[in-house]
Structure 1
Amino acid sequence: MTGRTTRTEVETPMGPARVHLSRPAEVRGVLVLTHGAGGSLRAPEFAPLRETLVADGWAVALVEQAWVLAGRRMPPQAPTQDPAWLPVVEWLRSGRRRLGGTLVVGGKSNGARVACRTAHLSGADGVLCLSFPLHPPGRPDVSRAEELRTPVEHGIPLHVVQGRTDPFGTPAEVRAELPDPGLVSEATGGHAFPRNPADVVADVRSWLAREWSVR
């Protein structure tokens, strides 16, 4: 991987969040990704996405949210979680460390939810959802489709990468909740992707290039 990686704590209303920022020498855009409800950045797609996209000229910020550093086992509800997410994105776009260019926010599972809910508030140019949890397993009646559609309703490009056997919502279920089926791509796996998920990396890279002509 080209570029350098720094680790910085950013103050939020819930206490500090931690940003692991990898950036190339010349930044064309920034992708901000955060974890799911388990609170770990060890999702198998994160490291290869970071390596590939930094080589393409994207800065990649992997974020440990404030609720994790505060020792909570589960994410708080949106009225608490969202205000603690927005300062992290603001920090990346302001001050002497300011990262210009295209801003794409996203995350894994619960991280995708917070990105969708706040994209229009953070000034994001796009949203990337990895394994969006459309509903709890076996409970399609408990839908989070309204959250998923929020970026689209604000005119923000959305892309969802969903495992073919995801019990939190199959690709077909997710497509049914969006105005364009092309917003959803299928990938090998369920809610978790397998190790070395080359299809996920290739799909995200293709989407970024298609939307913003970054090669």
Structure 2
Amino acid sequence: MRIETSAGPAEIELDQPRRPAFLLLLTHGSGGGVDAKDLLAVRDSALRLGGAVARVVQPYRVAGRRAPGSAVKQDEAWLEIVAHLRGRKRIPLIQGGRSNGARVACRTAVPARVRGVIALSFPLHPPGKPDRSRREELLDAEPVEVVVVNGANDPFGIPDPADAAEVRVIPGQPHSFRANFDLISETVTPWLIRWSERPATNG
């Protein structure tokens, strides 16, 4: 599926049961794709719970670029994608992503009116530059709950547990997860259940 946005076309990989319990939007890191194993682990968890999952390839990646460019334009395009996929559905909406995609999901959580955010490998700061913290992007999501899953050896840092609903640190893993995907599923599953069972407020 293709969706036209102000930043160009986005591409969507949609897995949808006949009567989905919720809709989960997931997106990639700055130079990556929607087939990253951690994203697939979250997708599979959502599908087991009866949710629909839309994995979004953002316009800059469709255009072949590795860097997202302007965060303002990226967020505007994301909100257009959310509006298109939500349509007239009255089911709960959840969003998430890995790395740069996690930043987008946090920054847009409030205007997108989502129930919760799954932030995989949230890049707290550039490697070796802890003074350039992106903590405020996590806080942008308040009062929406954010669940963070980062590797213990992530050079981009690990968010403080006080800044999210949950911070799960996966032992021995770098920024791009290579193992322990069962721990990712174990972390996100109860939150997906919790968010999907709340009274509907979005739509």
Q: How does 1:79-98 map to 2 (within 5 A)?
A: 79-94=72-87, 98=88
Letter in 2 for 1:194: R
Q: Distance in 2 between matches of 1:9 and 1:31?
A: 17
Aligned-residue offset at 1:167: 0.9
State the match for 1:56 in structure 2: 49
Q: Distance in 1 between matches of 2:95 and 2:183?
A: 20
Q: Distance in 2 between matches of 1:53 and 1:13?
A: 29
Task: Tell me, yes or no, if the aligned pair for 2:170 and 2:180 is still in contact at 8 Å.
Answer: no
State the match for 2:157 in structure 1: 169
State the match for 1:42 in structure 2: 35
Of 177, 184, 195 in structure 1, the residue corresponding to residue 167 of structure 2 is: 184
Aligned-residue offset at 1:48: 2.9
Aligned-residue offset at 1:90: 0.6
Q: 1:100 to 1:187 in 2, by over 3 A?
A: farther
How many residues of Structure 1 are paired with residues of Structure 2 in the alignment?
197
Aligned-residue offset at 1:186: 1.5
1:158 aligns with 2:146: yes
Q: Distance in 2 between matches of 1:210 and 1:175?
A: 22
Letter in 2 for 1:192: S
Query: Secondary structure at 1:137's aligned position in 2?
Result: coil
Of 102, 110, 126 in structure 1, the residue corresponding to residue 116 of structure 2 is: 126
Moved more, 43-52 or 127-136: 43-52
Task: Tell me, yes or no, if the aligned pair for 1:27 and 1:100 is still in contact at 8 Å.
Answer: no
State the match for 1:103 in structure 2: 93
Task: Tell me, yes or no, if the aligned pair for 2:115 and 2:195 is still in contact at 8 Å.
Answer: no
Task: Tell me, yes or no, if the aligned pair for 2:79 and 2:112 is still in contact at 8 Å.
Answer: yes
State, as a whole percentage, how many aligned pairs show the same letter: 43
1:18 aligns with 2:2: no
1:104-159, Cα deviation, whole Å (9 max, x unpaired): 1110000011111111111111111001000011100011011111112xx11111
Task: Tell me, yes or no, if the aligned pair for 1:45 and 1:197 is still in contact at 8 Å.
Answer: yes
1:202 aligns with 2:186: yes
Q: TM-score, normalised by structure 1?
A: 0.85
Aligned-residue offset at 1:19: 0.9
Which runs of 5 or more residues in structure 2 are unaligned? 199-203
Which runs of 5 or more residues in structure 1 are unaligned? 1-7
Q: Distance in 1 between matches of 2:169 and 2:196?
A: 21
Aligned-residue offset at 1:176: 5.6
Task: Tell me, yes or no, if the aligned pair for 1:36 and 1:107 is still in contact at 8 Å.
Answer: yes
1:40-64, Cα deviation, whole Å (9 max, x unpaired): 1231122232223212111111000
Q: TM-score, normalised by structure 2?
A: 0.90
Q: 1:176 to 1:195 in 2, by over 3 A?
A: closer
